[in-house]
Amino acid sequence: MSEPVTIQFAKLSAKADAAPKGVLVVLTDETLAFGKLAQAALKPSAPAIARALDADRFKGRLGGAVDVLAPEKLAVSRVIVAGVGKAEDLKESDYLRLGGIIAARLPAGTREASVVVDLPGRTVPGSAAAEMALGAKLRSYSFDRYKTRRKEGEAEPAPLSLTFLVGDEAMARRAWTAREAVADGVVLARDLVNEPSNVLDPPEFARRAEGLRAVGVEVEVLGDEDLAKLGMRALLGVGQGSIKESRVVVMRWNGASAKSQPVAFIGKGVTFDTGGISIKPAAGMEDMKGDMGGAACVTGLLYALAARKAKVNAVGIIGCVENMPDGAAQRPGDIVASMSGQTIEIINTDAEGRLVLADVLWYAKERFKPRFMVDLATLTGAILVALGQEHAGLFANDDKLAGEIAAAGLATGEKVWRMPLGPEYDKLIDSRFADMKNTGGRNGGSITAAQFLQRFVDKTPWAHLDVAGTAMSSPTSDINRSWGSGWGVRLLDKLVADYYEG
Ligand code: BES
Ligand code: MN
Ligand code: ZN
């Protein structure tokens, strides 16, 4: 990864005697006024800065910023004035974006920067500063582990120390402890998605998940033999064409009393999806290294919950397999018996994610009797056709859970859109030879996939997030430049924090 960002918080006082060095960032709203503390920090240069804002026709909108280089009578190398728009409208997710926008404005190679978290006529809560820090940290992420040289003229990466100057630094620090855990969870998920499949195969994924023991997560790894004993033939069938063994990893964070029923998160972890014998076309196939985005999210989430000591019992289960064509690979027409006992006719070996999830969902439900199950999977290309990359598809058998996920999505900016389920879709996956088939044809492809999964959850409240459009190949945003987005970690952390803790 790129050079680390160290986040700090310090008390901001109007005396501003400890003059910040490096880059100084101040905020303003559409009035173009500054808060008292920002005013004090800018004082000797205030007229020059006002002229710079005017010269740039700056309107203080969220997303806009003006750079003033080497302002006279200030020790800093530059002042960045960042707009926040209408201060009274600012939501948590705006502070997150703002943090990302500020981080992006810092010139490459910046070692020291301070942000004065202050707005005219209002006190900005410490939690908003922590949210900005989260945005800055996520924006600064880049996956360059495999780059051995820089482009000509590119600044040498340097560790950045980013200090937020706030009124209530104790509150900001407390809020950051939890946010930092989430930031690290997102970074872990992004790293896993970005990692190539020759490095991240199922056994390696399991080893990385074992790393969560460091934050107090119990980790169990099930290999081919264990899975065969459990009867996970649907999952094993997907992996049987690969020389890599399959793995199911069970991660448990126990942050509540032993009596408290756990919540469960299940992830599709296809470390590479060639399509198998129903092989995919060559163009773009390299993207299928990210077909484990659901499992990456679950791993990042369990990390975050443990690292922030969430008061919840949570189980994360990931099904890790590689889908390859080979002499040993499963064929179209094969019939497999899932762990549930239900039989599945394989029509298309490229509809493999649902086969993996069928067994993992069933296992999760039987073993843990969870309060709910949420699964995440890069399941269908059809969800990209339906929703593009702005929303993940949400399918659920429970309106309360669906509503909570939708609300957490809006709050975090990781948005979901509810899609239908219904018995009418069942006939599309009826099989002539087995209890069901693994594809339902082109129409409603994401729905028939979800309808298939529903057969493995019984009455457990359950939601399925089809993240094929959001987990990878992500459009850039103010808080993300990475191909693997780590989508879902913040959303599900928020779901737990708002509805299932304590
Ligand atoms: N992993 C793919 C879905 C996918 C597509 C993820 C694009 C990310 C980007 C999944 O295993 C798959 O191949 N689905 C098939 C299902 C079909 C054969 C019924 C699809 O969507 O075409
Ligand atoms: Mn596939
Ligand atoms: Zn797949």
Query: Identity (one letter) of the amino acid at 367?
Result: R
Q: Which two tokens stand for residue 341?
A: 């006992």
Ligand 1 binding pocket includes 345 (Cβ within 6 Å): no
pLDDT, position 346: 98
Average pLDDT of the residues in 397-412: 98
Q: Which atom of ligand 1 is nearest to the CA of 378?
A: 6
In this structure, the residue with its CA closest to atom 13 of ligand 1 is 350
> Residue 14: pLDDT above 90?
no
Going from the Cα of 363 to the center of ligand 2, the distance in angstroms, rounded, reads 22
- Give dist(CA 251, CA 185) in Å, integer: 14
* Cα 201–Cα 384–Cα 232 angle in degrees, nearest 5: 40
Smallest CA-to-CA distance from 247 within 265, 226, 219, 266 is with 226
Ligand 3 centroid vs 28 CA: distance in angstroms? Answer: 46
466 lines ligand 1 (CB under 6 A): no
Pocket test for ligand 1, best of 197, 235, 291, 439 (most atoms within 8 A of CB): 291
Whether the per-residue pLDDT at 17 is higher than 60: the answer is: no
What are the strands of the beta sheet with 78-83, ordered from one edge? 5-11, 160-166, 112-116, 23-28, 78-83, 65-69
CA of 143 to the centre of ligand 2 (A): 25
Cα 394 to Cα 376: distance, rounded to the nearest angstrom: 10
Q: How confident is the model at residue 460 (pLDDT cuts 50, 70, 90)?
A: very high
Of the pLDDT bands very low, low, confident and very high (cuts 50, 70, 90), residue 119 is very high
Percentage of the residues of the chain whose pLDDT score is greater than 70:
98
8 Å CB contact between 264 and 317: yes
The residues carrying an active-site annotation are 280, 354
pLDDT computed for residue 240 by the predictor = 98
Is the beta carbon of 274 within 6 A of some atom in ligand 1?
A: no
Q: How far is the CA of 450 from the centre of ligand 3 (A)?
A: 14
Question: Is-contact 472 378, C-beta < 8 A?
Answer: yes
Is the pLDDT reported for residue 377 higher than 80?
Answer: yes
Q: Calculate the average pLDDT of the chain.
A: 96
Q: Where are the alpha helices (DSSP H) in 57-125?
A: 92-105
Which ligand lies nearest to the CA atom of residue 287 in the structure?
A: 1
* pLDDT above 80 (res 48): yes
Per-residue pLDDT at 251? 99
In the chain, the percentage of residues whose pLDDT exceeds 90 is 94
Residue 66: C-alpha distances to residues 80, 112, 138 (Å): 6, 18, 22
Angle at 62 between CA 61 and CA 64, to 5 degrees: 70
- Cα of 323 from ligand 3 centre, angstroms: 8
* pLDDT tens track for 310-363: 999 999 999 999 999 999 999 999 999 999 999 999 999 999 999 999 999 999
Q: What is the mean pLDDT of residues 365-393?
A: 98
Task: Evaluate: CB of 380 within 6 angstroms of ligand 1.
Answer: yes
Question: How confident is residue 156, by pLDDT bands cut at 50, 70 and 90?
Answer: confident
- Write down the pLDDT at residue 2: 61
Least confident of 118-127, 238-247, 448-457, 491-500: 118-127
The pLDDT value given to residue 155:
81
The whole-angstrom separation of Cα 356 and Cα 232 is: 9
**Mean of pLDDT values over 473-493:** 97
Helix 202-210 vs helix 293-307: crossing angle, to nearest 10: 10
pLDDT of residue 153: 86
Pocket test for ligand 1, best of 271, 380, 437 (most atoms within 8 A of CB): 380
Which residue in 350, 335, 46, 37 sits closest to 165, CA to CA?
A: 37
- Helical packing angle, 169-194 and 489-499, nearest 10°: 130
CB 95 within 8 A of CB 128: yes
User: Is the CB of residue 441 below 6 angstroms from any atom belonging to ligand 1?
Assistant: no
- Among 321, 349, 350, which residue has the most ligand 1 atoms within 8 Å of its CB, making it the best to mutate? 350
**Kind plus residue range of the DSSP H or E element containing 179:** helix 169-194
pLDDT at 16: 52
pLDDT value, residue 77: 95
**pLDDT surpassing 80 at residue 485:** yes
The pLDDT assigned to 422 comes to 98
pTM over 0.95: yes
Distance of alpha carbon 449 from its chain centroid, rounded? 22
**pLDDT for 18 beyond 70:** no
* Mean pLDDT in residue range 74-97: 95
